[in-house]
Structure 1
């Protein structure tokens, strides 16, 4: 009998199934340094211990998306090793900040299943929770993924698609203990614009762009211990739908987040991901551009030092965002759009 893990196929999942994921991961300053090298993120809170201490934290936390990717990476061998594509995210709440030296573990619960009409694949919905060594939740989120069937003739489970909120409620946003933006230094942060300077409906073209390199996207994906075959094995993928390795969608999210600094430099803390979709695949050689729209401004009860902005960031490939609308007359995304991300950030008032 083989001792290797072939991963779960669609028919291996069941509603309510609990999936405790292997390999707890202790994150380090080296992880943060490599993450910065890969994406060039410049947000001050994650870059400077002194800046973080001025805002009431003990030191600079890891980048929020680095924590997201590490928690996500734990789930891949059990959820998406045989995935064709990760389809979307919802109801993602960031909890306790993650600091160098913390150990992260993840557990998932299957909350939805639906076979596709082709009978070859199905969509699996999971609620994944990442905790630190003290049992504190650092991330709780839902994602759905298209997974291959092992046997196309196997019977389909009854379809069950979970109802998910369109956005994380303001009352569910978690402000880290001690975080106080009253002494937020916009000069050191590198951006003058505060919460009050943005208006609902305002669009920001972030101007800058970054080309995805083959080595970098694979190094990043390995950093998160994400083992999904579609990102690595060219022998398999050359026979697949696209004929080449697909870039991990989270890599595009991190690129987009880093590029938003130019225009949203004081959006130093991600509070939630309300929803997101990878609308088209990305490949090495693609150049990523980003624009953002302010969907909502949220006043937080009892807080005069900070507010929340609900943002929608659109990432495109090989075409500057200002050149075209994200959707055509038929309502479908333009083929150049690769990411539609709805998320909430904290910003000084």
Structure 2
């Protein structure tokens, strides 16, 4: 018999394996290319012109069409899963997300995360881990950063609870917190090619928009998307990992689907530059039909020529009535899948 050797497989981190201040450098940098964009646009009905056409992007002062903002987010997010959420019960929320530089085809993205908070749950079996993740390119430039918190299982339920540290995160970014891409200029913006005539001044705070269209989630498509982002969370792949025997749809898949559906009514909300908050309110499964609606929460001018910032709430539902969010008890209605609060850039 050969002698026993140390296991070489990675079971993932459990709640007791984290410490506040810990910095994790995530493995496997990813170079993005035209295939990444094409597959993203095949998975979602993505039609925003700035991300579809190099010529349109150049007319707006950029060197070419960037990779879709949420595609860049998913690439960075996927890097973090083996180290942050492999043993997660659920991804709970987001805050202080900022897109700091466009990601272009040929860029290589990597990610690192700092643990900024820990709090064991009262059941003693799980805890919430708070991290701040940064994605950077091959030049070492940070292209995006965000905070998220995730409920993670304990590997040893007898492990002592750490001192509770809950970070004080901003409820919303201000326009001064946002970074505008260098050279962005919407002063000669082509509304005909963009697909809708509605500009920044046409939207009012408090206005709600039903995006009308819906897409039924297919098992194969969400699995393909999750593999594309190299997301290894067990709940998305292994049907035996949940008591109900269903694979949970990756929350980012719902985010991108809702964002793409919002084109109908918000075609000119071109660039996402800030993520104020977000919650995956209820689980999504294959066979659910995703619909979306938006609410205008705020507006602000920016120093870039012809560019305004608009703060939007994007709500994805599984066929629920538009503009219904919470019940009388203050909890999300069971049809609500996603509640996302973000800043976008729009021609003035």
TM-score normalised to the size of structure 1? 0.97
Deviation for aligned residue 1:235: 2.6
Which residue is 2:216 aligned to?
211
Which residue is 1:244 aligned to?
246
SS class of match (1:75): helix
Would you say the 8 A contact 1:289–1:320 is kept in 2?
no
Matches within 5 A, 1:226-245: 226-237=231-242, 240=243, 242-245=244-247
User: Over residues 221-245 of structure 1, what are the superposed CA-to-partner deviations in whole Å (9 max), with x where a residue is unaligned?
Assistant: 10000000000011333xx3x4311
Is 1:38–2:43 an aligned residue pair? Answer: yes
SS class of match (1:76): helix
Matches within 5 A, 1:1-349: 1-237=6-242, 240=243, 242-300=244-302, 302-321=303-322, 325-349=324-348
User: Over residues 103-146 of structure 1, what are the superposed CA-to-partner deviations in whole Å (9 max), with x where a residue is unaligned?
Assistant: 00000000000001111100000000000001111111000000
In structure 2, distance between residues paired with 1:317 and 1:284: 11
User: Over residues 26-75 of structure 1, what are the superposed CA-to-partner deviations in whole Å (9 max), with x where a residue is unaligned?
Assistant: 00100100000000100000000100010111111000000000000000
In structure 2, distance between residues paired with 1:87 and 1:57: 35
Would you say the 8 A contact 2:185–2:305 is kept in 1?
no
SS class of match (2:106): coil
SS class of match (2:65): coil
SS class of match (1:234): coil
> 5+ residue gaps in structure 1?
none
How many residues are paired up?
343
Which residue is 2:3 aligned to?
none
Deviation for aligned residue 1:153: 1.1
In structure 1, distance between residues paired with 2:81 and 2:10: 12
SS class of match (2:150): strand
Aligned-residue CA RMSD in angstroms? Answer: 0.9
TM-score normalised to the size of structure 2? 0.97
In structure 1, distance between residues paired with 2:101 and 2:325: 35
Deviation for aligned residue 1:319: 2.6
